[in-house]
Amino acid sequence: MFQQLFKSIQEKVLLTQEEMELCKTFFIPKKLRKKQTLLQEGDICIYNAFIEKGILRSFTMDEKGNEHIVQFAIEGWWITDLSSFLTNSASVYTIEALEDSELLLLTTSAREALMDKIPMFERYQRLLLQNAYIANQARINSALTETAEEKYINLANAYPGIVKRVPQHMIASYLGLTPETLSRVRKQINNRK
């Protein structure tokens, strides 16, 4: 149940055996079936979720009913609406399982208690945030500078696991393209090969 989590932690910091045991007590295991949600838009996000197995997405819905995917997350990654989670404000995102998934949930208070009791856990959280920050900067830069085709090719190279696992129209949504445009982009790429 905790394999992926401790693998993720140990890649970044060193915990003692006792700290790892203590750590376990703060998480709430949770299974989600495909299409079930961890968070509904408008609700307050009370969990920071680590994914042991499966894949989830977070997305917004605009006035016209179009979904915009803000994040995908697979095994070994964390997902939450950080803004809602940290400030107890209504969430603008919905978080949904795209496959049957197994999660380890951390409430705000459990997260803070863990960081107070295990300083290396706070470091782990900071290192995760640093990586997420870098990834988001790269995504902003991509949105500002790349064509539809470049966006798709770069995503497929950087995260082949996600592109293979997720319906194509969701990849389009993540890239800020329509499904039709992504279909044509892919056709173009194949024609050239």
Residues engaged in binding DNA (CB under 7 A): 147-149, 167-169, 176-184, 186-187
- H or E segment and range at residue 158: helix 148-158
Sign of the C-alpha dihedral, residues 159, 68, 136, 15? negative
CB of 173 to DNA, least distance (A): 10
Residue 48's DSSP bridge partners are 106
- H or E segment and range at residue 134: helix 119-145
- H or E segment and range at residue 147: none
8 A C-beta contact, residue 103 and residue 30: yes
Q: Does 35 bind its own copies (CB under 8 A)?
A: no
Residue range at the interface with its own copies (CB under 8 A); choices 6-14, 60-68, 152-160, 185-193: 60-68
Alpha carbon distance 140, 145 (integer Å): 9
Looking at beta carbons only, is 20 or 148 nearer to DNA?
148
Residue range at the interface with its own copies (CB under 8 A); choices 18-26, 38-46, 81-89, 94-102: 81-89
With CB under 5 to 8 Å by kind, the binding choice for 129 among DNA, its own copies, none is its own copies
Strands 28-32 and 101-107: antiparallel
Looking at beta carbons only, is 66 or 130 nearer to DNA?
66
Task: List the interface residues with its own copies, window 121-140 (CB under 8 A).
Answer: 122-123, 125-126, 129-130, 132-134, 136-140
Task: Locate 160 and state its tokens.
Answer: 């082949």
Looking at beta carbons only, is 83 or 183 nearer to its own copies?
83
CB of 46 to DNA, least distance (A): 28
8 A C-beta contact, residue 29 and residue 103: yes
CB of 186 to DNA, least distance (A): 6
Closest CA to 4 of 56, 42, 54, 61: 54
Q: Which residues bind its own copies (CB under 8 A)?
A: 60, 62, 68, 70-71, 82-83, 86, 92, 115, 119, 122-123, 125-126, 129-130, 132-134, 136-141, 143-145, 176
